[in-house]
């Protein structure tokens, strides 16, 4: 017997899961930022053959905006790049832009013109977490630690 009821395919944001991800990303990214920080500061990490850089774009009373990206002299394919806002009062970090996406929404209808996934925001923040873990476990800072 076939179930004739329409399956609800609407994506619902897992708010608690996303907040946990934001909190862990905040702790990881905070550990990689230079101390004290100023606009224009950058920190470069060598991880095996890869080079990652964190640039501080903006500092306000409660937030810091950074750009996290992979560097390569002669890239063969587009390299990852993300703009992340750290909210110091809430102790969370959120990806607010990525490569060609100026704004990352919490959810998207699917299919869409740009073929963005329904849970694109969660996937980008998960990728940031994995990337930061990789830098923390395997990375060597190219700048002297103060």
Indicate whether 20 pLDDT > 50. yes
Mean pLDDT of 125-136: 91
Q: What is the pLDDT of residue 103?
A: 62
Indicate whether 39 pLDDT > 60. yes
Structure letter (DSSP) for residue 63: E
Number of separate helices (H) and strands (E) present in the chain:
2, 6
The residue that leads in pLDDT, 136 or 24, is 24
Contacts made by residues 51-56, CB under 8 angstroms, sequence distance 24+: 51/142, 52/131, 52/135, 52/139, 54/29
Q: What is the pTM for the complete model shown?
A: 0.79
Domain map (residue ranges) of the chain: 15-141
């Amino acid at each position: 017997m076939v179930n004739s009821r329409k399956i609800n395919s609407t994506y619902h944001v897992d708010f608690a899961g996303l907040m946990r991800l934001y909190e862990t990303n905040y702790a990881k990214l905070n550990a990689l930022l230079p101390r004290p920080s100023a606009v224009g500061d950058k920190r470069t990490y060598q991880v095996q053959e890869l080079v990652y850089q964190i640039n501080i774009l903006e500092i306000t009373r409660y937030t810091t905006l950074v750009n996290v990206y992979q560097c390569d002299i002669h890239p063969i394919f587009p390299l990852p790049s993300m703009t992340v806002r750290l909210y110091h009062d809430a102790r969370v970090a959120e990806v607010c832009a990525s490569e060609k996406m100026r704004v990352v929404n919490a959810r998207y209808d699917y299919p869409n013109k740009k073929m963005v996934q329904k849970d694109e925001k969660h996937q980008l923040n998960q990728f940031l977490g994995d990337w930061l873990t990789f830098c923390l476990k395997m990375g060597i800072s190219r700048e002297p630690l103060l």
